[in-house]
């Protein structure tokens, strides 16, 4: 049976490979709560997602101000969701694997878009993921254990913008730029 990807509590450092770029990432999970810290050429972004409530926030800094945006399923989906449900039942265990000093099982599934392969520990930590032979996720280190609850909450003083009100978002960004003298 494919492991449940939302049971473990851990901090994993790794890399996402996308569009010819390698982006450093820290994934912190405590059950259905997820925090991803992603370094991009535009700066650091933090995504907090609570699988119990369905709320996801993207936290970023622009013009020296930190703000958060509510994200729906189109803007952010927990990576574990790609391998849960019906998809997990269609994956085939294809052997043993290891990465980042951890051991796991290799799971393969083929669908219309190609072949996906994942190396996953028995307690549900994705160590390596490939799409059509290309690495898209690589874990470099894992530290297991409970994670602090404040990692999964909005930092004090950070305001949340509603992305459903795009004109409000544009105005807030413009105010942030104006405050920074841009």
Residues linked to residue 22 through DSSP beta bridges, in sequence order: 17
- Residue with token string 């990807």: 5
Residues 6+ apart with CB under 8 A from 68: 57, 58, 59, 60, 154, 158, 159, 160, 161
- Residue with token string 């003083």: 157
Q: What is the pLDDT of residues 71-92, one digit of tens each?
A: 765 555 566 666 666 667 788 9
Where is average pLDDT lowest: 43-47, 82-86, 92-96, 148-152? 82-86
Q: What does each C-alpha distance from 169 to 3, 62, 71, 98, 160 come to in angstroms?
A: 39, 12, 13, 44, 10
Q: What does each C-alpha distance from 19 to 97, 102, 179 come to in angstroms?
A: 26, 27, 34
Q: Which pTM value belongs to this model?
A: 0.80
- Residue with token string 């219309």: 112
Q: What is the pLDDT of residues 96-119, one digit of tens each?
A: 999 999 999 999 999 888 998 999
């Amino acid at each position: 049976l494919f492991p449940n990807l939302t049971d473990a509590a851990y901090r994993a450092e790794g890399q996402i490979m996308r569009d010819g770029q390698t982006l450093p990432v820290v994934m912190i999970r405590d059950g259905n709560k997820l925090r991803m810290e992603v370094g991009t050429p535009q700066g650091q972004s933090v995504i907090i997602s609570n699988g119990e409530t369905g709320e996801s926030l993207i936290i970023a800094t622009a013009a020296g101000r930190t703000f958060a945006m509510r994200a729906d399923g189109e803007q952010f989906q927990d990576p574990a969701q790609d391998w849960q449900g019906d998809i997990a039942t269609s994956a085939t265990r294809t052997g043993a694997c290891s990465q980042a000093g951890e051991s796991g099982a290799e799971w393969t599934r083929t669908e219309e878009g190609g072949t996906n392969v994942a190396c996953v520990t028995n307690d549900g930590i994705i160590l390596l993921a490939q799409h059509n032979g290309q690495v898209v996720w690589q874990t470099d280190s894992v530290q297991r254990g409970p994670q602090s609850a404040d990692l999964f909450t909005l930092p004090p003083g950070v305001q949340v913008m509603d992305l459903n009100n795009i004109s409000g978002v544009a105005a807030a960004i413009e105010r942030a730029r104006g405050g920074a003298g841009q």
